[in-house]
Amino acid sequence: MPTNPKTYPASWTGLVVLACRKCQKKLKHDPHRLALAKLKKTVKRHNREHPEQMLHIINVPCMDLCPKDGVTVCLPSRDPHRLLIMGSAEDFQKIARHQ
């Protein structure tokens, strides 16, 4: 007899961002893109400064869209069928503002 899967509340609030771990790793030696290379730290800093615009980052394996100087992200709550490429910290701020 099949049963429904168990559900649990998420341990975070705010917008979930799926970010490619491989893209971030490629950028870790570029001092101009350090905010993108360490998105978890960037998001933590953002959440402290803007508690009304909470974000939660989940690093995922390669999404098969490899930009040259950027990080591929997906916002499943907004448009799960589209991937975004963040090329700078300003792109991150745009995502955070348009929750």
Rounded distance between C-alpha atoms, residue 69 and residue 67, angstroms: 6
pLDDT in tens, 29-46: 888 888 888 889 988 998
Q: Which domain range does residue 31 map to? A: 15-97
pLDDT value, residue 71:
93
Structure-derived torsion over alpha carbons of residues 11, 72, 74, 5, reported in degrees to the nearest 10: -60
Q: Does a structural domain hold residue 35?
A: yes
Q: What is the pLDDT along the chain (99 residues), one digit of tens a residue?
A: 678 899 998 888 888 999 999 999 998 888 888 888 888 998 899 899 988 888 899 999 999 999 988 999 999 988 889 999 998 888 888 887 765
Q: Does a structural domain hold residue 7?
A: no
DSSP 28-43: TT-GGGHHHHTHHHHH
Q: Which residue shows structure tokens 């799926």? A: 18
Q: Does a structural domain hold residue 3?
A: no
pTM of the model: 0.83
Closest C-alpha to 13, from 43, 41, 33: 43
Q: Does a structural domain hold residue 24?
A: yes
State the total domains in the chain.
1
